[in-house]
Structure 1
């Protein structure tokens, strides 16, 4: 329980599953803090710092999806959902709630831990190349992980912010499905990967509002067109 990789809040009402997930995360250097309900998890989250939340969908009282939505109101902490439901509608519900990834039970504990490691590493990554990215009135600060549109801060989840940045960095060019999976989720292959991208794009379009900020390119991926800044010069 060194915590070198970060602190993870693991939420599941099954004691055995809690132990399995916590142990897998601890083998990768995480400190795993356990909670058995959405209410307990929310109390811990409000009192302590966490780098990641691993959250079971089916919980007593408030569901994992409801807790994810609540977390998203005030925090951009990455969330991985654990679900025994493989249906597309259930995966989409979790992604619409703001989850960054999902893992379907039964799963490989080692794979879950490695996914957790990759997500936390991405959210912490800061390099000299992380300069302000702009396209018309859209401004993205990769270091602070903040996006503004017409001066208005966009309340984006971590995965939404990464997808927006990936498109903005290649403005005017098509970014393929596999490129988006690599840049945003760190994997070239993912069961239901296109559904994840489509759902995240849908949420982004809601945040961005009017205007053709993200264009679908049939059979290829997505493109962010070059947008002129029509705002008056403040000088």
Structure 2
């Protein structure tokens, strides 16, 4: 039975991060059967690559994974994004739930779980995120309009070609329009090798969105912090 969803939730894009092939496959199919778009990653590294190239409305993350744990991935995502996060774990101890919430998770579900309960919790998180979630709207600045969900930038109505690095940077900045985001946080979210790589991407992106890249209006430098995207 499909869960009852609020308007706009049917198109929500959910990322499942779990190293268990069976659970990952089952969840992806179950979410798709209930009207959601679903993508999957087997570990934190794959998840971060997907996050750098696509926008998601909800993350479902397993805690116990090789490499970066679900706790660590949650903390890194939360440093630069407000996307809702639901943690899954085979450990149901109170201290584990507390650590997950402290790292930035919004909800917590112990394994084994009923798929119906996961669906309801996902719907609740999406509803709380509301229709103004950054991935659901188009951000305009000057002649430009950017849709994080589609990964599409238009200038004067014409599509502007972006590299994967430029798209990841613009999406990261669009998550918090008008707010300064540190170079370190942008490097983490865009998988840039170092903070200087962020500076290079900013320079290139300014050439595509600013009338005068040397005197930027929309992609501004915030001294001592990093960068901010200033919408209309």
TM-score (norm 1): 0.52
Aligned to 1:138: none
Aligned to 1:44: 50
How many corresponding residue pairs? 132
**Structure-2 separation of matches of 1:25 and 1:110:** 10
Instruction: Select which of 71, 74, 91 maps to 1:68.
Output: 74
Give the conservation status (yes or no) of the 8 Å contact 1:8–1:33: yes
Instruction: Select which of 79, 84, 93 maps to 2:90.
Output: 84
CA distance 1:5–1:113, shift in 2 (3 Å): farther
**What's the secondary structure of 1:34's corresponding residue?**
strand
**Structure-2 separation of matches of 1:104 and 1:124:** 25
Aligned pairs for 1:153-164 within 5 A: none
RMSD: 2.7
Instruction: Select which of 2, 24, 28 maps to 1:22.
Output: 28
Give the conservation status (yes or no) of the 8 Å contact 1:22–1:34: yes
Shift of 1:5: 3.5
Query: Can you give the 5+ residue segments of structure 1 that lack an aligned partner in the other structure?
Result: 127-144, 147-151, 154-235
Shift of 1:125: 4.4
**What's the secondary structure of 2:83's corresponding residue?**
coil
Instruction: Select which of 99, 106, 122 maps to 1:100.
Output: 106
Aligned pairs for 1:186-225 within 5 A: none
Q: Map Cα deviations across residues 132-187 of structure 1 (whole Å, 9 max, x no partner).
A: xxxxxxxxxxxxx99xxxxx99xxxxxxxxxxxxxxxxxxxxxxxxxxxxxxxxxx
Aligned to 2:37: 31
Moved over 4 A (4+): none
Aligned pairs for 1:165-184 within 5 A: none
